[in-house]
Structures are given as structure tokens and as C-alpha cells.
């Protein structure tokens, strides 16, 4: 409805943001635009810099994968940009703009600054425009409430026109989308398996047909067969409803299959960003290479793998230079003195934060980080070898 759009715009004006009278091309192309977002936990000496100057865009109807080892700041990033961050977490800089499109006219887009939005605005966009499946989703359902009540609540607050029986019917439809029988609505969470609970959370996230769904490790606690089923379902749902997705996992091989574009995080920063197939076939950052080599392959010669030596840095300590330097097999003097910025890699459309790839680097790029890569036919066609 156009009235509500004006409403959001008015409020944004008070916050100093400019509402788009006419949607800019970038607002139409990207559902989410995050720039220089930084988050820290706590203060003073114990301050943990969990997310540092993160900039990323999520193109409409595509999947952005976020990879990185434990503690790299993946969850903190999505908590911050959906404003679910709790104390002692603080957004210390940057912004996240959600480009909300009008249900009547998808070319009409209103930017909502999530970092400054009021609770009321947030309530308006959560569920309806952006929804999130949290990492702890397996325990996110209220144990003493039947599944049906969770759905009823979301539908009742956001779809006032629906009658009780309409809501029940809609809930059953949503469960059917993720392959669950309607009788599950009368069950308690503990009566469902882990996979069924995770499916329920996904159905709930899709209840109001959002433009962006954020999933934080939705399948990590599940076994591979269940994971495969859920991933397949998600892909189908996405092609049907056209929502964009941010998918977080430490399983880079899963992301390569699922995502269009991938960002790799290390110690709170993005160290590499590329098209999924390209990232897999031709990684440019030493950390990405290490992550890819941490998964034993299912095919080919059995050979010893070493993974990544050492452990991630203490984010509470002030660091100088590249945060990966202590573990990097290619580290140079410069790496220990200066921190490399995330910079475009020639005209490839990808970016990397590593001194090896700067134009004026005197050191030749090591062979594993200089693999050739040819453009595949599709936008994200994994499986391009060499």
C-alpha cells in the first residue's frame, strides 16, 4: 500500500536518510546494501572487534554465501544488520540499507536504513520483508507451545485480515512447502526430529513472502542426508518465490553448490568476494585456499591434507598488519606491517584483501593462487575444473 510507503519515508527523513522518490537502479538491483559495517562487543581493554568495515550487496533473488571459521564474525554480522544484536554488542559504524519494494509495484523501492530504524519500523519490515533463521534454530521454538501457535502468531500480527481458519490453512500450506504433514501443527517441538524442526523454522521464515531470507548455519546440526533434502527444498522454494538469501555456513563446499556469490570472512573482515564457481576453481586469498583444502574430497587420489595451521587471532588484541599473517604460508614483511584493504582484482569483478595481488607487488603470485579460470555459461556454474 502506498500510504505505508510514505509512512516509512517520513520516518526515515526524521532520521536524516533520504527516501527514494524515484528508485535508483542500485536500489532496484540490490535488496540489501551494507557499507562499512563494524560491530564490537564490550568496551575498553576487553573490547572484541567482531566485525570490521564490512561492505556487501545482496542482489535480488540471488544467494549470497558467507563462509569462515568459527569466531570469524558471521553471526555477529547478520545480528547487526537485522538489528538483533544484544548487549554487549554495539554497531560502531556503517549502515545497512534494506530496499523494500512495494507489493503493488515491484519497481517502486523504498530504502529502509536498518541501522537507524525505530523499533516500529523494524517490526514492519521483519518477517514481511526480511526474515531470519537463527543458528540456534533447533532450540528457537518455544518448547511448551504447539508448532501451530508460532505460525498463528506471525500471521495474526502481520495479516490482520486473515480469519482463524484462514491462518490455519495458510500454516498448513507453509508446512507442505517444506514437506511436512499438517498434523505437525499440533505437535510440540520435542516431538519433531531436528530436521523437521529446522524445516518448520524455514516455513515460518517464508510465511509472509519476504524479499530477503537470512539463514545462519541452518543445516550444520543435521546429518548430510537431511541437509541435502533441505538444501534441495530451499533451491526449489527460491526459484518459486524469488526471494534473495544470505546463507551462512563454515562449509565452503556446501556454499559453492548453493550460492551465486560468496564472501569469505576472517577475523571479522571480508578477505575475499567472488562468484561461487570462480572462488572454488580459482581462489585468490591464501585463507580461502586453506579453507578449500580443509575438506577431504570424495573423489580422486587419497592424499594427505594439512588444512590451515595455527588458530584464529584473539579479536580483543590490537593487531597490526594482515590478520592472517601468523598462519599464512606466503606472508611477507609488508604483511606484518600493513593491513591489506579489500580491493578489486583487476577487472574480474571480484575482490581480495591480500598484498600478493596488488598491482605493484614485486612478489610473483604463488601458483595455487594464480589458477586460470574461464567464464562458465551460467551465472553460478560450479564444477568448472582448473
Partner 1 sequence: MMTDVVAPVARLSARGLTRHFTTRVPGRILAAKRVTRAVEDVSLDLVAGRVTAVVGESGSGKSVLARMLARIVTPTSGELFLEGNAIALRARRTLDYAAQVQLVLQDPFASMNPVHPVRHSLERPLLIHGAHKAEVDELARSVLARVALDPPDRFLDRYPHELSGGQLQRVSIARALCVQPSVLLADEPISMLDVSVRLGILNLLKGLADHERLAILYITHDIASARYLADETIVMYAGQVVERSPGTVLIDEPAHPYTQLLIASVPDPSGAARVDRGAGESRPFVRAEEGCAFALRCPHATSRCRHECPPAFVIGEGHVSRCWLHADQAPASSDLATPGRQREGEATKT
Ligand X SMILES: Nc1ncnc2c1ncn2[C@@H]1O[C@H](COP(=O)(O)OP(=O)(O)OP(=O)(O)O)[C@@H](O)[C@H]1O
For binding to ligand SF4 (CB under 6 A), which residues are involved?
286, 322, 324-325, 328, 330-332, 335, 340, 354-356
DSSP per residue, 313-351: --TTS---S-TTGGG-TT--HHHHHSPPP-EE-TTSS-E
Q: Could you say which DSSP state residue 203 is in? A: H
The site partner of 23 among ligand X, partner 1, ligand SF4, none (C-beta below 5 to 8 Å per kind) is: none
CA distance 131 to 356: 38
Return the residue of 43, 144, 224, 362 that touches partner 1, per CB under 8 A. Answer: 224
73 sits near partner 1 (criterion: CB under 8 A): no
The site partner of 294 among ligand SF4, partner 1, Mg ion, none (C-beta below 5 to 8 Å per kind) is: partner 1
- x/- mask, partner 1, residues 271-300, rule CB under 8 A, reads ---------x---------xx--xxxxxx-
Stretch that binds ligand X, among 7-15, 70-78, 234-242, 253-261 (CB under 6 A): 70-78
Q: Taking the complex as a whole, how short is the minimal distance between the CB of residue 96 and Mg ion, in angstroms?
A: 18
CA distance 372 to 353: 19
Q: Taking the complex as a whole, how short is the minimal distance between the CB of residue 357 and ligand SF4, in angstroms?
A: 8
Q: What is the CA radius of gyration of the chain?
A: 22
The site partner of 344 among ligand X, partner 1, ligand SF4, none (C-beta below 5 to 8 Å per kind) is: none
- 214 φ/ψ angles, rounded to the nearest 5 degrees: -105, 125
158 sits near partner 1 (criterion: CB under 8 A): no
Stretch that binds partner 1, among 139-147, 221-229, 337-345, 369-377 (CB under 8 A): 221-229
CA distance 107 to 244: 16
Of the two residues 47 and 332, which places its CB atom closer to ligand SF4 in the complex?
332
Q: Taking the complex as a whole, how short is the minimal distance between the CB of residue 319 and partner 1, in angstroms?
A: 18
> Dihedral angle at the C-alpha atoms of 155, 158, 164, 168, nearest 10 degrees?
-20
114: nearest Cα among 207, 201, 214: 214
Return the residue of 19, 42, 326, 368 that touches ligand X, per CB under 6 A. Answer: 42
- Strand 269-275 and strand 109-113: pairing? unpaired
| Angle CA 244–250–253, to nearest 5 | 80
Give residues 84-143 in contact with ligand X (rule: CB under 6 A): 88, 135
Stretch that binds partner 1, among 49-57, 83-91, 110-118, 378-386 (CB under 8 A): 378-386
Q: Taking the complex as a whole, how short is the minimal distance between the CB of residue 244 and Mg ion, in angstroms?
A: 20
Cβ(122)–Cβ(131) under 8 Å? no
CA distance 135 to 218: 6
Return the residue of 62, 75, 196, 198 that touches Mg ion, per CB under 5 A. Answer: 75
Residues 167-192: b if buried by 16+ CB within 10 A, e if exposed:
bbebbbebbebbebeeebbebebeeb
Q: Taking the complex as a whole, how short is the minimal distance between the CB of residue 69 and partner 1, in angstroms?
A: 5
CA distance 231 to 135: 16
Please give the residue ranges that form the binding site for ligand X (CB under 6 A).
41-42, 48, 50, 68, 70-76, 88, 135, 250, 315
Please give the residue ranges that form the binding site for Mg ion (CB under 5 A).
75, 135
Amino acid at each position: 500500500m502506498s500510504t505505508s510507503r510514505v509512512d516509512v519515508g517520513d520516518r526515515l527523513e526524521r532520521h536524516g536518510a533520504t527516501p527514494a522518490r524515484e528508485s535508483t537502479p542500485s536500489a532496484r538491483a540490490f535488496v540489501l546494501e551494507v557499507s562499512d559495517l563494524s560491530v564490537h562487543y564490550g568496551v575498553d581493554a576487553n573490547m572484541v572487534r567482531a566485525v570490521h568495515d564490512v561492505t556487501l550487496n545482496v542482489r535480488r533473488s540471488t544467494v549470497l554465501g558467507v563462509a569462515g571459521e568459527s569466531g570469524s564474525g558471521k553471526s555477529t554480522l547478520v545480528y547487526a544488520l537485522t538489528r538483533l544484536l544484544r548487549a554487549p554488542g554495539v554497531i560502531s559504524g556503517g549502515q545497512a540499507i534494506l530496499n523494500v519494494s512495494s507489493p503493488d509495484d515491484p519497481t517502486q523501492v523504498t530504502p529502509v536504513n536498518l541501522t537507524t530504524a525505530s523499533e516500529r519500523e523494524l517490526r514492519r519490515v521483519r518477517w514481511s520483508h526480511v526474515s531470519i533463521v537463527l543458528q540456534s534454530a533447533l532450540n528457537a521454538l518455544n518448547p511448551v507451545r504447539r508448532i501451530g501457535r508460532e505460525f498463528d502468531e506471525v500471521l495474526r500480527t502481520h495479516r490482520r485480515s486473515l480469519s482463524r481458519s484462514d491462518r490455519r490453512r495458510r500454516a498448513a500450506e507453509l508446512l507442505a512447502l517444506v514437506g511436512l504433514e499438517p498434523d505437525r501443527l499440533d505437535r510440540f517441538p520435542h516431538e519433531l526430529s531436528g530436521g523437521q524442526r529446522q524445516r518448520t523454522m524455514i516455513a515460518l521464515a517464508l510465511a509472509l513472502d519476504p524479499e530477503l531470507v537470512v539463514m545462519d548455519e541452518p543445516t550444520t546440526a543435521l546429518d548430510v542426508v537431511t541437509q541435502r533434502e533441505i538444501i534441495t527444498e530451499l533451491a526449489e522454494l527460491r526459484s518459486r518465490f524469488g526471494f534473495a538469501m544470505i546463507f551462512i555456513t563454515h562449509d565452503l563446499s556446501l556454499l559453492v553448490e548453493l550460492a551465486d556469490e560468496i564472501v569469505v570472512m576472517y577475523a571479522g573482515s571480508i578477505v575475499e568476494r567472488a562468484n561461487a564457481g570462480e572462488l572454488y576453481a580459482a581462489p585468490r586469498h591464501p585463507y580461502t585456499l586453506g579453507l578449500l583444502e580443509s575438506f577431504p574430497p570424495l573423489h580422486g587420489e587419497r592424499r594427505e591434507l594439512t588444512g590451515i595451521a595455527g588458530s584464529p587471532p584473539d579479536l580483543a588484541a590490537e593487531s597490526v598488519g594482515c590478520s592472517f599473517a601468523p598462519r599464512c604460508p606466503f606472508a611477507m614483511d609488508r604483511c606484518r606491517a600493513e593491513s591489506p584493504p579489500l580491493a578489486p582484482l583487476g577487472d574480474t569483478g571480484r575482490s581480495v584483501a591480500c598484498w600478493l595481488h596488488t598491482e605493484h607487488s614485486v612478489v610473483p603470485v604463488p601458483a595455487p593462487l594464480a589458477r586460470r579460470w574461464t567464464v562458465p555459461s551460467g551465472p553460478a556454474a560450479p564444477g568448472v575444473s582448473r
